Amino acid sequence: MNNFMHLLFSTDFAFSVLRVMTPILFAALGALISNKAGIVNIGLEGTMLVAALTGVITSAYSGSAWVGLLCAVLSGVIIAALLGFFTLKFKTHIILGGIAVNMFASGGTVFILYLVSGDKGASTSLKSGVLPNLHIPLIQDIPVLGPILSGHNVLTYVSLVAVAGLYYLLAKTPLGLQIRAVGENPKAAQSVGVKVNRIQFISLLISGFFASLGGAYMSMGYLSLFTRDMTAGRGWIGIAAEAVGRSTTIGTFLSALLFGAADALANALQILKLPAELIGTTPYIVTVIALMVYAISESKKKKRKLTKAKLKETKSS
Amino acid sequence: MKKALSLLIVLTIIFVTACSKDTSSGGNESTASNGANDALKVVLLIPGTLGDKSFFDAANNGLNEIKQKLGADTKVIEMGTDQTKWEPTFNDIASQDWDVIISGGSQITELMNSVAEKYQKKTFINYDTDINEVASNVYAVSYATNEISFLAGATAALLSTSNLPHANPEKEIGFVGGMDIPGINAFLVGYIEGAKYVVPDIKVAISYAGDFTNPGKGKELSLLQYKSGVDVIFNVAGGTGLGVFDAAKDQKKYAIGVDSDQSAMMQGTDDEKANLIVTSAIKKIDQVIFNAVKQMQAGTLTTGKLEIAGLKEDGVGLAENNVYQNVLSEQIRTQIADLKNKLASGEIKVSNAMGMDTSKIDEIRQSVKP
């Protein structure tokens, strides 16, 4: 037990939480922006895979990790644009479109990997780039916080900045207002002159942008290679995190952090020799508990509102 | 309407001609090769796709060798991962004029046995299975993963207690498995026994990823092991295992590969990583397939029972590549070679976790708990 506490309160553990959280957070932000616009992008997992592969291939051929990152982002945005083109222009159902993206990505990445490297499993024969880790000058000297916050991959910091950026975009800018309006009631938005399709298209592009950063992190930061289906469901967990966060930016960030922590905890617990099957359930148990806590607090709020309303009624009558 | 109709007709014509041309050229080719010689016809059915750098690629290498050295007519068919498509493919192929039909994996075993019973005159080779039931015309092979893991464990333990640059004083080695299943635990038990044989008080940290395609998880688990004092990790986790090598590079620690020479596959692109993978525990699937077909030609192949390919049969082995030669000291290498001989001669017996009680496996795991 002592060992366990030692593990849980080590800086290494807190550091690993941020590291594990990053791809989930990117996917969750991608899910958030598309959901806000009322167009549910479930193609995040596929977009991440495509971006992960593009990053590896382009960085291997250009010799620069940054060119790789740029191309990865471009590929993600292109996938999102394609998805938007089919769903908004040709009215394909967005869920079907998303499924198509995921299936295409799972098979297509292996196919392209085979064309480029002659392998179908992993990109080990490509000399791909890795994005640098950042050691932040002042922060890294703070006793406990330093080793937790400093030394992460550059994309981990980008993900944190992206949370703030997305919050600002949604809450403070005209575009954000339009996105929210379109998501809540597209007909009403249209009636006041908002171009619904255009706003949804822009949201999808931003969604693809975030997902591609998550993908690039997987193959060029977290790991240094592409392997088939390497995202291993992180895109889906991102969508779940967005739902647990009730489509708010802060909530999404916190739930992504929670998922990251649960996953990191599941990894750390293995050292303690608890049964692996039990440990494997940790992330899901945490999710269920989080949802329960949320549901209880929510229903309490409602009850309070109801009783208040009733009180008012009785007073007025 | 007329336009549409003519377009349709044109398209149909194009389609039909394109198709027929394709089949006729394909047909020509096969008749040409048939006419040229009366060679043995060997087909390999891959229950998945090539390019896994492991099982399937190794089987394909064996097939190529058969083609080159035995002059056989060969063909490889990737059946994909959709299991419902395996049976029709199997039946199709069995009804054609192939002499030898090769495939492998526990999942394929039942299907292969039932098809083999229908086509008694053909020879079937199942290059990797653990199931004891074998049809009379099937040559089935199981690998002594326990023996090869024994060597891997001994290597790891000797490395951990050596004064190599990246080894630490703690007598602790690691194991990252794909899942807590008999196939993986067969490796684990051999690994633990091998390590204990050379260093009785060795500790083994064990993690299971629960997934074979999640290198991110593999990296996290190995980072934790390395940080807790482990200096070498044996990965038996497919794609997940590739994350172990990333962690090894991160932490400047050693790793051991599995199934194929995983150091060779990184060499040239990431030498730093390749040089940390001291060796790999290899199933010599290509050799097993080649030898089986060769024996069949000579008429000495015994079918109908499960063969065990161990060190004695040269069915398994450690990758003794340049990294192995350069990183490990001569003393360690002679010790390993000595163990190898003892295993091959049967002087050392390794337990097999296949069919072992779960509680017994757990007991073994607990005995080396760090």
pLDDT at position A123: 86
Cβ of B49 within 8 Å of Cβ of A120? The answer is yes
Q: Record the pTM.
A: 0.82
Nearest CA to B162 among B231, B101, B97, B220? B231
The residue written with tokens 């699937």 in the block is B285
Query: Chain A to chain B, count of Cβ pairs less than 8 Å apart?
Result: 101
Q: What is the pLDDT of residue B11?
A: 67
Q: Is the pLDDT of residue B271 over 80?
A: yes
- Sign of the CA dihedral A182, A186, A190, A191? negative
| CATH node for B145-282+317-366 | 3.40.50.2300
Q: Say which residues have a Cβ less than 8 Å from residue B144's Cβ, sequence separation at least 6.
A: B308, B309, B310, B311, B315, B316, B350
What is the rounded distance in angstroms from the CA atom of residue B220 to the CA atom of residue A269?
12
R_g of chain B computed on alpha carbons: 24
CA distances from B150 to A192, A281, B173, B337 (A): 74, 32, 13, 12
Of the candidates A164, A168, A142, A139, which has an alpha carbon nearest to the alpha carbon of residue A152? A139
Q: Which residues of A touch B54 (CB under 8 A)?
A: 121
Alpha helices (H) in chain B, listed in sequence order:
2-36, 55-70, 86-95, 106-118, 145-160, 182-198, 215-227, 242-251, 271-274, 285-298, 322-327, 330-345, 358-367
User: DSSP letters of B258-276?
Assistant: EES-TTTTTTTT-HHHHTT
CB A28 within 8 A of CB A241: yes
Mean pLDDT of B232-242: 91
Q: Which of B213, B227, B369 sits opposite A232 (nearest CB)?
A: B213
Query: Which of A17, A61, A120, A284 has the most B C-beta neighbours within 10 Å, making it the best mutation to test the interface with B?
Result: A120
pLDDT at position A3 is: 61
Question: Span B206-219, mean pLDDT?
Answer: 90
The whole-angstrom separation of Cα B171 and Cα A20 is 29
CB atoms inside a 10 Å sphere around CB B276: 23
The band of B297, judged by pLDDT with boundaries at 50, 70 and 90, is: confident
Identify whether the C-beta of residue B85 lies closer than 8 Å to the C-beta of residue B79: yes
User: Contact B224/A267, CB-based, under 8 Å?
Assistant: yes
DSSP A183-215: HH-HHHHHHTT--HHHHHHHHHHHHHHHHHHHH
CB contacts of B216 in chain A (<8 Å) are 20, 23, 218, 222-223, 230, 232, 234
Q: How far is it, in rounded angstroms, from Cα B344 to Cα B349?
A: 10
pLDDT at position B163 is 86
Q: Is B263 on the interface with A (CB under 8 A)?
A: no
**How far does the CA of residue A291 sit from the closest CA of chain B (Å)?**
25
Calculate how close chain B gets to A181, using CA atoms only, in Å: 38
**B256 vs chain A: nearest CA distance in angstroms?**
16
**pLDDT at B20 > cutoff 60:** no
* Three-class secondary structure of residue B44 per DSSP: strand
CB–CB contact A230 B269 (8 Å): no
Query: For residues B193 and B188, what is the distance between their CA atoms, to the nearest angstrom?
Result: 9
Asked if residue B235 has pLDDT above 90, the reply is yes
- The band of B33, judged by pLDDT with boundaries at 50, 70 and 90, is very low
Per-residue confidence band for B29, with pLDDT thresholds at 50, 70 and 90 = very low
For residue B338, what are its two tokens? 């000595």
Return the higher-pLDDT residue of B22 and B278: B278
Yes or no: say if B276 and B245 are a contact pair by the CB < 8 Å rule: yes
Taking residues B242-264, what's their average pLDDT? 91
Query: Which residue, chain included where needed, has tokens 């089935």?
Result: B140
Alpha carbons within 13 A on the beta-carbon side of B68: 6
Identity at A153, one-letter amino acid code: N
pLDDT tens-digit readout, B316-330: 999 888 899 999 999
Residues in chain A predicted with pLDDT less than 50, given as ranges, are: 1
pLDDT score at B21: 45
Considering only CB atoms, A120 lies closest to which of B50, B207, B266, namely B50
Q: Residues A190-232: pLDDT tens digits?
A: 999 999 999 999 999 999 999 999 999 999 999 999 998 899 8
Query: Is A94 in contact with A41 (CB distance < 8 Å)?
Result: yes
Chain A contact present for B6, CB below 8 A: no
Enter the DSSP assignment of A153: B
- pLDDT at residue B121 above 50? yes
From A206's Cα to the closest Cα of chain B, the distance in A is: 25
Res. B238: pLDDT tops 60: yes
- Please report where in the chains the tokens 């063969």 appear, as a residue: B307
pLDDT tens digit sequence for B48-106: 878 766 778 888 989 999 999 988 899 999 998 788 889 999 999 999 999 999 998 87
